[in-house]
């Protein structure tokens, strides 16, 4: 209903974006900061931005998202927010006692031109940063990039401020986690542990944004990569970055700073991307792939083979983040599905380059990345020639309703369904979860829309 007036006819737009497939840079920086143990994210800007970023994360994770703000007034908006940030740092350390404050900027402080290096140095010179505590920072102007850019910038800041090379190399492989759910991180760590690979994941949101309810509020839950662990990343023997858009900057920074070589692989979503990740981990950690992991792979293939008739030829429209969409499209193609419309608001060349290869046998496929890629246009494509399935975040529910389509929620934000922070979509087990979710969406839709005489007991 809400989108029923979307027209099939496209008008060439040069500047206007309607329903963008992305959100604001600082949200990514704030999310990444939770991957450090004992860290309080700090938004250097006005309260409104910080409230929005916190609520966007709270609505997705269903956890209290704690973050502080420099709380700009009219005065700081005109003359700069240096005094606000110095005061904030002093107050935060004395009242909330974090190990680390992770500062990110907003459109406002970027437009003023606040210099975080100078301001944080001033705070240190004035003794506002207690011994053993740390303030890290990154720039996240939201008029460029997306939440993925902000995430990447904050992860790179972890390398810049913590990673240290000593002469003692450690037999450890760094796993730099791209934007994914804590459940996905937990699954990747489980795979590494089953393979007996010595790894260190950062950032690590497990046991931070998926904590059990104990009746006792912990401002800094037990999870997250500790500052001591982050320092040792400079001594690791290798780094695997999971997702080019969200981890490449950090991997390059770690190589430049500490000479830790790296390989970027996709986030292990689906069969082939998981194969590549497991192979890379096996090679760089020098461990074999155990039988139990091969069995997980075999069960996934069995599920796909058993349900081939439901997957075959199905046309799919997707939207979201490039690091997710690239392996996800590859997974759908490997199940003989047809990802025909794909949009991502995050700018960058690899998205279109990779999809060109992955979708080469689907000549009707349309894909678009960057500022002008939006869900409005994707909906127009659907109006022109329909699809069988939608995969994306909650913003797609209006299209699903308007077109009466099966809809699998995937990505950020998911505000209207539980489960995404419980059931992983990474690894072979995660791919099995995802394939089941897709099948159930098709079967629920068939049961609901079939005429009485066509309703089948057995599907
Ligand atoms: S002003 Fe900028 S940083 Fe603040 S909410 Fe809007 S886009 Fe995000």
What is the pLDDT averaged over residues 40-56?
A: 97
Q: Tell whether 137 and 110 lie within a shared domain.
A: yes
Q: Measured at the alpha carbon of residue 275, what is the angle toward residues 274 and 276, in degrees to the nearest 5?
A: 90
Q: Examine the domain organization and report whether 280 and 414 are in the same domain.
A: no
Q: What residue numbers bound the domain in which 359 lies?
A: 295-453
pLDDT for residue 387 is more than 70: yes
20 close to 132: Cβ distance less than 8 angstroms? no
Of the candidates 31, 23, 98, the one whose C-alpha atom is nearest the C-alpha of residue 321 is: 23
156 in a structural domain: no
Q: How far is the CA of 240 from the centre of ligand 1 (A)?
A: 32
Average pLDDT of the residues in 319-344: 98
257 in a structural domain: yes
The pTM assigned to this predicted structure is: 0.97
Separation between Cα atoms, residue 38 and residue 229, nearest integer Å: 13
pLDDT tens digits, 92-111: 999 999 999 999 999 999 99
Atom number in ligand 1 closest to CA 107: 2
Residue 437 clears pLDDT 80, i.e. is over it? yes
Percent of the chain with pLDDT over 90: 95
- Give the domain CATH number at 368: 3.40.50.1980
* pLDDT of the residue at 237: 98
Do 275 and 185 fall within a single domain? yes
Whole-number Å distance, alpha carbon 324 to ligand 1 midpoint, is 24
Q: Decide if pLDDT at 365 tops 70.
A: yes
Residue 11 lies in a domain: no
pLDDT at 359 over 90: yes
Q: How many domains does the chain have?
A: 3
**Ligand 1 centroid distance, CA of 21 (Å):** 16
Question: If you average pLDDT over residues 7-12, what whole number do you get?
Answer: 92
Last residue of a domain, one of 289, 306, 332: 289
Which candidate, 213, 207, 240, places its Cα nearest to that of 225? 207
From 258, 289, 320, the end of a domain falls on 289
CA 375/CA 343 separation, integer angstroms? 7
Say whether both 303 and 436 belong to one domain: yes
Nearest-5° Cα angle at 392, 16 to 362:
85
9 lies in some domain: no
What is the arithmetic mean of pLDDT over 14-41?
96
pLDDT of residue 228: 98
DSSP code, position 264? E
What does the pLDDT read at residue 410?
A: 98
Q: How far apart are CA 40 and CA 343, in angstroms?
A: 33
347: confidence class by pLDDT, cuts 50, 70, 90: very high
Which of 43, 107, 144, 146 has the most ligand 1 atoms within 8 A of CB, as the residue to mutate?
107
- Ligand 1 neighbourhood includes 26 CB (under 6 angstroms): yes
- How many CA atoms are closer than 13 Å to the CA of 291, on its beta-carbon side? 0
338 in a domain, yes or no?
yes
Listed residue (23, 22, 24, 18) closest to 2, CA to CA: 18
What is the CA(370)–ligand 1 centre distance, in A?
A: 18
Co-location of 228 and 121 in the same domain: no
pLDDT at 167 over 90: no
Alpha carbon of 347 to ligand 1 centroid (Å): 17
Name the residue of 52, 67, 71 to mutate for ligand 1: max ligand atoms within 8 A of Cβ: 52
In this predicted structure, what is the pLDDT of residue 126? 97
User: For residues 30 and 38, what is the distance between their CA atoms, to the nearest angstrom?
Assistant: 13
Evaluate: CB of 56 within 6 angstroms of ligand 1: no
Query: How confident is the model over 122-136, as a mean pLDDT?
Result: 97
283 with 301, same domain? no
SS3 275: helix
Position 15 in a domain: no
Domain boundary among 235, 257, 289: 289
Adjacent-strand bridge partners of 299: none
**What value does the mean pLDDT of the chain take?**
96
pLDDT of residue 1: 54
Please check whether residues 139 and 198 belong to one and the same domain.
no
161 assigned to some structural domain: no
Cis ω on the peptide bond leading into residue 413 (within 30° of 0)?
Answer: yes
Q: What's the pLDDT band for 458 if we cut at 50, 70, 90?
A: confident
Task: Note whether 15 and 313 are within 8 A (CB).
Answer: no
Q: What is the Cα–Cα distance from 457 to 451, expressed in whole angstroms?
A: 13
223 and 113 inside one domain: no
Residue 155 covered by a domain: no
- Same domain flag for 38 and 62: yes
75 and 196 both lie in a single domain = no
- State in Å: Cα 23 to ligand 1 middle: 9
Which tens digit of pLDDT belongs to each residue from 240-290?
A: 999 999 999 999 999 999 999 999 999 999 999 999 999 999 999 999 999
Residues 395 and 259 in one domain: no
In DSSP notation, 362-396 reads: -TT-EEEESTT-BHHHHHHHHHHS--SEEEE-GGG
| pLDDT at 31 > cutoff 60 | yes
pLDDT at residue 2 is higher than 80:
no
Same domain? For 196 and 58 the reply is no
């Amino acid at each position: 209903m809400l989108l029923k007036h979307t027209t099939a006819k496209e008008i060439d737009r040069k500047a206007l974006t309607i329903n963008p497939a992305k959100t604001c840079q600082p949200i990514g920086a704030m999310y990444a900061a939770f991957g450090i143990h004992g860290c309080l994210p700090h938004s250097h800007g006005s309260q409104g931005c910080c409230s929005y970023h916190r609520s966007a994360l709270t609505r997705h994770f269903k956890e209290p998202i704690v973050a502080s703000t420099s709380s700009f007034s009219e005065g700081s908006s005109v003359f700069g927010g240096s005094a606000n940030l110095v005061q904030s740092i002093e107050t935060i350390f004395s009242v909330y006692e974090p190990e680390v404050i992770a500062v990110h900027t907003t459109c406002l402080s970027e437009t003023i031109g606040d210099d975080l290096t100078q301001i944080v140095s001033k705070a240190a010179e004035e003794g506002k940063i207690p011994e053993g505590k740390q303030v890290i920072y990154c720039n996240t102007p939201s008029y460029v990039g997306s939440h993925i850019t902000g995430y990447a910038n904050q992860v790179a800041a972890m390398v810049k401020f913590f990673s240290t090379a000593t002469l003692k190399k450690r037999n450890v492989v760094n796993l730099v986690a791209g934007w994914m759910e804590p459940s996905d991180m937990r699954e990747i760590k489980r795979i590494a542990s089953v393979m007996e690979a010595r790894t260190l994941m950062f950032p690590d949101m497990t046991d931070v944004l998926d904590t059990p309810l104990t009746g006792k509020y912990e401002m800094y839950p037990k999870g997250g990569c500790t500052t001591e662990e982050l320092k040792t990343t400079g001594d690791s023997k290798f780094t695997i970055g999971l997702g080019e858009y969200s981890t490449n900057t950090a991997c390059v920074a770690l190589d430049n700073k500490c000479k830790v070589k790296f390989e970027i692989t996709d986030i292990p979503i689906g069969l082939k991307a998981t194969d590549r990740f497991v192979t890379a981990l096996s090679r760089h950690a020098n461990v074999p792939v155990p039988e139990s992991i091969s069995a997980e792979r075999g069960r996934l293939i069995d599920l796909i083979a058993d349900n081939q008739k439901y997957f075959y030829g199905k046309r799919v429209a997707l939207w979201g983040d490039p690091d997710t969409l690239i392996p996800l499209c590859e997974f759908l193609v490997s199940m003989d599905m047809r990802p025909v419309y794909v949009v991502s608001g995050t700018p960058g060349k690899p998205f279109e380059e990779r999809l060109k290869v992955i979708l080469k046998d689907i000549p009707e496929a349309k894909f678009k990345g960057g500022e002008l890629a939006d869900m409005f246009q994707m909906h127009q494509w659907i109006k022109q020639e329909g699809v069988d399935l939608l995969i994306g975040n909650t913003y797609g529910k209006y299209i699903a309703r308007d077109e009466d389509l099966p809809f699998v929620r995937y990505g950020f934000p998911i505000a209207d369904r539980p489960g995404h922070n419980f059931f992983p979509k990474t690894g072979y087990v995660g791919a099995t979860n995802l394939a089941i979710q897709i099948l159930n969406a098709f079967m629920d839709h068939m049961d609901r829309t079939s005429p009485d005489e066509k309703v089948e007991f057995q599907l």
